[in-house]
Structure 1
Amino acid sequence: MSKNKKQNIIEVKGTTINVFHSKENEFISLTDIAKTKENDSRAADVIKNWIRTRSTIELIVVLSQFTKVLTDFLFGFYLLT
C-alpha cells in the first residue's frame, strides 16, 4: 500500500469490514459486507445481483450527478463481473 493510503477495520455484527482511506476518499469493502449475507464463496454473486437491480442503477444515476468518480468505479466493477 502506498504511503498516502491507509486502512482501518470496523466490526459490524461480528463481521470485519475493511475501510480504505486515500487522500480525501474512503472506500468500504463491498465484498466484506456481502460476506455477511452469504458465505465467502458467494460474496461475488451477492454483489453482482445487487449491482443489477433497478433501484441500484437508479441510485448510481442520481449519485453520478454529484461525482463522476463513483460512476467510473461502479461501471468498471460491473464490467469486471
Structure 2
Amino acid sequence: MAWGASAARQEGRLQAHAPLKELCERPRAVFIAGFVGNPPKKLFDARLTREEDRYLVGRQGLEIELPWERGSRAAA
C-alpha cells in the first residue's frame, strides 16, 4: 500500500504538507508536534545553546546534549 502526502490545517490555514511518516518523525511546527503521533508529544520551552563542538537543549539547569546533526539543524 502506498502512502501519499498528508496535510494539516489550523483555523483554515495550511500548516504542513508532507508524507505522514515525516510529519510524525520530524514535525516542523509546534502546532503539528502537539497533536501528531501516539502517544502525543509533550512540549516545553527550552533554550538551544552551542558550546564549542556540541549543542545543548534544556532549561532551569537541566540540559541534554543533542546529536550534532540535530543540533545544527535546530540552530538553522
TM-score tier after normalising by the smaller chain length: 0.3 to 0.5
Structure with the largest fraction of strand: 2
TM-score, normalised relative to structure 1? 0.31
Structure with the largest fraction of helix: 1
TM-score, normalised relative to structure 2? 0.32
